[in-house]
Amino acid sequence: MGNSGAELEANVYNRQVKRDQKKFKVWTSAGLMLSYFCPAQCACCYVFSGPNAGEAATEMSVEDALDHWAAILRLGGEKGKVHLTGGEPFGDFERLERILQGACEKHLGGLEKIETNAYWCTDEKVVRERLGRLKELGLERLQISTDVYHQEYVPMERVELAVRIAREVLGADGVQVRWRDFYENPVLVGKMGDRERTEQLLAAYKKRRERLLGRAADKLANLFPLRNYESFADNNCGKSFLGARHVHVDGAGNVFSGTCIGIIVGQVKPRKAVTLDELWCGFDYREHPIISVLVDQGPVGLWSIAEELGYVGGQGYASKCHLCYELRSFLHKRGLSGEQLGPGVCYGLNFEKPQVNA
Ligand code: SF4
Ligand code: SF4
């Protein structure tokens, strides 16, 4: 793999398929999930991040973060990029600083952005110092989350402080406010009654469809009209998996395709002595017991597997991904496919005490 990254033929599956068949695209972008810890518990969260979700086994070490970073650059070449995310990556600022410091020392480029919910932005001096330090270490873009869900947990003044100082330190182009329309006209549902709050959440979802996985499946799906599982029969996930150029990696070394969090494509360091590029080269979806079903049939294909184990179905499903999540959650809780479904925090399980320095 040179500066232009990996060739498609470096992957074992791509070498076997016919010319006209869909190839498994090269991963060129990785989101490093430094921790599942987060001070918030947003209803839209596609894992179950929260104050008690950071356990030692899923905290990403500086060494592993740099290892994954280097691997995605080998795969993606000049297109290779990483973003640092969580949970909340500012939950451990020292780690964030050490990762960027290490990347500078190893001359790793391609830092796309760091994401934050701005909960830590309570003191102007601290915000300026931290962002200034990260800028010195190569940060060019900060993504600040702000929407109806996040603002149930993070006071708007902190977001405003973060945006103001980040614009000063990184320049206007260095700040991505997600979402800008909400930032300009925030709707705070915290003090609203149930009915009004539900209306606002529905309005927000209609505007931007969150993927109904993890806590979002638990908290949001029931707000929508639910459909029978058979109505999703025509929806396979071939495009999502084979065409995904983006992966997420958590601190336990679980690799997820795109935002299909909780479906483990494979495991890298520290769980296995495998790097991200080695995993990509050796991955053949046909050998993966869950992904092979999803690629060929979509989540409906998991129904019969779950049914055999006693799944009787819920009241219906709001979307294809909601159906997928419910079936996977059932299979995970039944202990099926421990290497392919997990970790527990993606399914609302296994919380331990947080291990972070806020
Ligand atoms: S959506 Fe982001 S900010 Fe909200 S709980 Fe999840 S990780 Fe935290
Ligand atoms: S249905 Fe499942 S596998 Fe398909 S895109 Fe949604 S989460 Fe991913």
Ligand 1 pocket list (CB less than 6 A): 38, 40-42, 44-45, 49, 86-88, 117, 145, 150
Give, for ligand 1, the residue of 47, 85, 114, 117 to mutate: max count of ligand atoms closer than 8 Å to Cβ.
117
> What separation in Å is there between the alpha carbon of 302 and the centre of ligand 2?
11
25-228+243-283+341-347: which CATH architecture? Alpha-Beta Barrel (3.20)
Mean pLDDT score of the chain, rounded to an integer? 94
> What separation in Å is there between the alpha carbon of 216 and the centre of ligand 2?
14
SS (H, E, C) 170-208: HCHHHEEEECHHHHHCCCCCCCCCHHHHHHHHHHHHHHC
Taking only the tens place, the pLDDT of each residue in 97-108 is 999 999 999 999
Ligand 1 atom nearest the C-alpha of 87 is 7
Residue 349 pLDDT: 85
Compute how many other C-beta atoms are within 10 angstroms of the C-beta atom of residue 314: 15
Which residues are CB-contacts of 154 (< 8 A; sequence separation ≥ 6)? 39, 40, 117, 118, 119
211: amino acid identity, one letter: R
Taking only the tens place, the pLDDT of each residue in 168-178 is 999 999 999 99
Residue 314 pLDDT: 78
Could you tell me the residue ranges of all domains in the chain? Answer: 25-228+243-283+341-347
Give me the count of residues in the chain. 358
DSSP assigned state of 249: E
Taking only the tens place, the pLDDT of each residue in 125-141 is 999 999 999 999 999 99
Which ligand is nearest the CA of 85, by number? 1
The Cα 192–Cα 120 span in angstroms is 25
Quickly state the pLDDT bin for 337 (edges 50, 70, 90). low
Residue 2 pLDDT: 60
The Cα 6–Cα 280 span in angstroms is 10
Element (H, E) at 265: strand 264-267
Residue 1 pLDDT: 67
Whether 245 and 26 have beta carbons less than 8 Å apart is answered as: yes
The Cα 254–Cα 267 span in angstroms is 5
Give, for ligand 2, the residue of 236, 317, 321 to mutate: max count of ligand atoms closer than 8 Å to Cβ.
321
Ligand 2 pocket list (CB less than 6 A): 213, 237, 240, 260, 263, 294, 299, 320-321, 324
Taking only the tens place, the pLDDT of each residue in 30-83 is 999 999 999 999 999 999 999 999 889 999 999 999 999 999 999 999 999 999
- The angle subtended at Cα 305 by Cα 255 and Cα 261, nearest 5°, is 20
Residue 355 pLDDT: 34
Residue 210 pLDDT: 81
The Cα 318–Cα 307 span in angstroms is 19
DSSP assigned state of 2: B
> What separation in Å is there between the alpha carbon of 303 and the centre of ligand 1?
29
247 φ, ψ (degrees, to nearest 5) = -130, 160
Taking only the tens place, the pLDDT of each residue in 115-128 is 999 999 999 999 99
Taking only the tens place, the pLDDT of each residue in 238-296 is 999 999 999 999 999 999 999 999 999 999 999 999 999 999 999 999 999 999 999 99
Answer yes or no: pTM beyond 0.75: yes
Residue 350 pLDDT: 61
Between 19 and 71, residue with greater pLDDT: 71
* pLDDT score of 316 more than 90: yes
Ligand 2 atom nearest the C-alpha of 263 is 3
Percent of the chain, pLDDT > 70? 96
